[in-house]
Amino acid sequence: MTLRPSGQLSWLLERLTPSKWDVIGCLSSETRWNSAWQCVERRAERQHYLQIEDAVGVFGGPTAETHAANLDRQLALAVEVPGFRPDRVLRAQLLARSPDVIRTVESVVNKLGPNVILDTSCMPKRYLFPLMRKILDAAPDNLVVAYTSAQSHGDVLGYSSDDWAPLPLFLAEIDTDPLIIASVGYEPSGLAQILGEMPKTEGDLRFVLPVGTSASSSRRSWEFLHHVWPDLPLKWQAPPLRVEVHDLSGTFDTMRKVIDRTNRNVVFAPFGPKPTSVAMCLLASMLPRATVLYAQPSYYAQDYSTGVHDLSPGVPACVGHCVRLNGVDAYSLCQERGA
Amino acid sequence: MVAFSANPFERAYATESVDDDQFVVLFSPILIEYAPQLFVDDNVVVKGIQGAGKTMLLALFRPSVRIAYGRAGRDFPVLPQHSDYIGAGFSVRRSGSIDFGQLDWASEAQMGRCFGDYLNHSLLEDLIHSVLCLSEAAESGLVTGLSIERNQRALDEWARQLACERCWNDAFNGVGTLQELQEVVKRRRGLYRNALETARMDVIDDAMLKTVSDVGEPISIAADLLREMNVIGPETKVLLRFDEYDQLTHVRQLPAEAGRVMQSVVNKALGRRDRRALYRIGTRPYSWRSGALPVFGTQEMLQEDRDYMVFDFDKVLGSTEHRDGPVFRNLACDVFRRRLIHAGLLDEAANPVDVCEPFNRFFGRSPTAEQKSLRHVGRTSQSRGLGDISDLSTDWQAFLRRLAEVHPLQARVGAAWVRCGRAEGAPPPAQGTGTPWGGNQDAWWANARYSQALIQIAAEAKDRLVWAGCEDVLKLSGDHILAFLGICRYVWSAWNRSADASSVVAWTDITEVDLNLQTIGIDDSSEAEYRKLLDMPHGDTRRNAATAMAQTLRRMLKEDKRLSYPGRSGFTLDLSALDRNEYADVRCFLDNMVDYGVLRRRDNKGLNGQMRARFHVAPWLAPYFQLPMDNGQEPFAPSLQVIVAWSQGHEISLRNATASPGQMPLFDEDVAE
| Mean pLDDT in residue range B161-185 | 94
- The closest of B629, B482, B621, B636 to B539, measured between CA atoms, is B621
Give the pLDDT of residue B1: 45
Give the pLDDT of residue B3: 55
| CA dist., res. A33 & res. B558, Å (int) | 49
| CA dist., res. B468 & res. B103, Å (int) | 53
| CA dist., res. B583 & res. B389, Å (int) | 44
A189 and B94: CB-CB below 8 Å?
no
- The CA distance from A188 to the nearest CA of chain B, in Å, is 8
* Reported pTM: 0.88
| Mean pLDDT in residue range B661-668 | 40
Q: Which of B534, B538, B592 is the best mutation test for A, with the most CBs of A within 10 A?
A: B538
| Mean pLDDT in residue range B449-465 | 93
Residue A23: strand, helix, or coil: strand
Q: What pLDDT band is residue B197 in, cutting at 50, 70 and 90?
A: confident
Please report, as a single letter, which amino acid is at residue A215: A
pLDDT of residue B238 exceeding 60 = yes
Percentage of the residues of chain B whose pLDDT score is greater than 70: 93
Q: Could you read off the pLDDT of A14-37 as tens digits, one per residue?
A: 999 999 999 999 999 998 998 899
Residue B201 DSSP one-character state: G
A97 and B545: CB-CB below 8 Å?
no
pLDDT of residue B664 exceeding 70 = no
A99 and B252: CB-CB below 8 Å?
no
| Mean pLDDT in residue range A280-297 | 94
- The closest of B165, B167, B200, B171 to B186, measured between CA atoms, is B171
Residue A130 DSSP one-character state: H
B424: contact with A, CB 8 A cutoff: no
Percentage of the residues of chain A whose pLDDT score is greater than 70: 98
Please report, as a single letter, which amino acid is at residue B221: I
* DSSP conformation letters of A81-125: STT--GGGEEEEETT--HHHHHHHHHHHHTT--SEEEEE-TT--H
- The closest of B113, B116, B101, B121 to B195, measured between CA atoms, is B101
Q: Which residues of A136-153 are buried (b: 16+ CB within 10 A; e: fewer)?
A: beeebebbbbbbbbbeeb
Name which residue leads in pLDDT, B609 or B159: B159
Give the pLDDT of residue A41: 83
Q: Estimate to the nearest angstrom the gap between the alpha carbon of B486 and the chain centroid.
A: 14
Give the pLDDT of residue A230: 78
Q: Could you read off the pLDDT of B106-146 as tens digits, one per residue?
A: 999 999 999 999 999 999 999 999 999 999 999 999 999 99
pLDDT of residue B148 exceeding 50 = yes
B540 and A159: CB-CB below 8 Å?
yes
For B259, residues 6+ apart whose C-beta sits below 8 A from its C-beta are: B101, B248, B249, B250, B251
Cβ-Cβ contacts under 8 Å, B204 against chain A: none
| Mean pLDDT in residue range B501-525 | 88
What backbone phi and psi angles, to 5 degrees, belong to B231?
-70, -45
pLDDT of residue A247 exceeding 70 = yes
pLDDT of residue A258 exceeding 70 = yes
B199: contact with A, CB 8 A cutoff: yes
Name which residue leads in pLDDT, A243 or A60: A243
As beta bridge partners, residue A150 has A308
Nearest CA in chain B to A192: B535
Cβ-Cβ contacts under 8 Å, A271 against chain B: none
Give the pLDDT of residue A259: 94
Q: Which of B66, B253, B254, B640 is the best mutation test for A, with the most CBs of A within 10 A?
A: B253
CB of B296 closer than 8 Å to CB of B112: yes
User: How many Cβ contacts (< 8 angstroms) between chains A and B?
Assistant: 121
Give the pLDDT of residue B11: 63
Nearest to A97 among B197, B253, B536 (CB): B253
Helix (H) / strand (E) element for B459: namely helix B450-460
Cβ-Cβ contacts under 8 Å, B10 against chain A: 230
Q: What pLDDT band is residue B28 in, cutting at 50, 70 and 90?
A: confident
Q: Could you read off the pLDDT of B406-446 as tens digits, one per residue?
A: 889 999 999 999 998 887 778 888 777 778 887 777 888 88
Give the pLDDT of residue B667: 43
pLDDT of residue A336 exceeding 80 = no
Give the pLDDT of residue B321: 67
To the nearest whole number, what is the mean pLDDT of chain B?
87
Give the pLDDT of residue A56: 87
Nearest CA in chain A to B103: A99
For B106, residues 6+ apart whose C-beta sits below 8 A from its C-beta are: none
- The closest of B645, B326, B273, B617 to B476, measured between CA atoms, is B617
| Mean pLDDT in residue range B471-488 | 93
Complex ipTM: 0.86
Cβ-Cβ contacts under 8 Å, B95 against chain A: 173
- The CA distance from B269 to the nearest CA of chain A, in Å, is 24
Q: Could you read off the pLDDT of B257-270 as tens digits, one per residue?
A: 899 999 999 999 99
To the nearest whole number, what is the mean pLDDT of chain A?
90
CB of B80 closer than 8 Å to CB of B235: no
Give the pLDDT of residue B547: 96
| Mean pLDDT in residue range B584-603 | 90
Q: Could you read off the pLDDT of B60-92 as tens digits, one per residue?
A: 999 999 999 999 999 999 998 899 999 999 988
B29: contact with A, CB 8 A cutoff: no
| Mean pLDDT in residue range B323-338 | 86
pLDDT of residue B672 exceeding 60 = no
B96 and A173: CB-CB below 8 Å?
yes
* Cα radius of gyration rounded to whole Å, chain A: 19
Residue B51: strand, helix, or coil: coil
| Mean pLDDT in residue range B45-59 | 84
Residue B352 DSSP one-character state: -
pLDDT of residue A127 exceeding 80 = yes
- CB neighbours of residue B257 within 10 Å: 12
Cβ under 8 Å to A: B residues 70-99: 93-96, 98-99
Name which residue leads in pLDDT, A158 or B605: A158
pLDDT of residue A214 exceeding 90 = no
Percentage of the residues of chain A whose pLDDT score is greater than 90: 60
Q: Which of B55, B62, B540 is the best mutation test for A, with the most CBs of A within 10 A?
A: B540
- The CA distance from B89 to the nearest CA of chain A, in Å, is 13
Q: Could you read off the pLDDT of B538-582 as tens digits, one per residue?
A: 999 999 999 999 999 999 999 999 999 999 999 999 888 788 888
Q: Could you read off the pLDDT of B630-662 as tens digits, one per residue?
A: 878 889 988 888 888 898 888 877 654 443 333
| CA dist., res. A181 & res. A241, Å (int) | 10
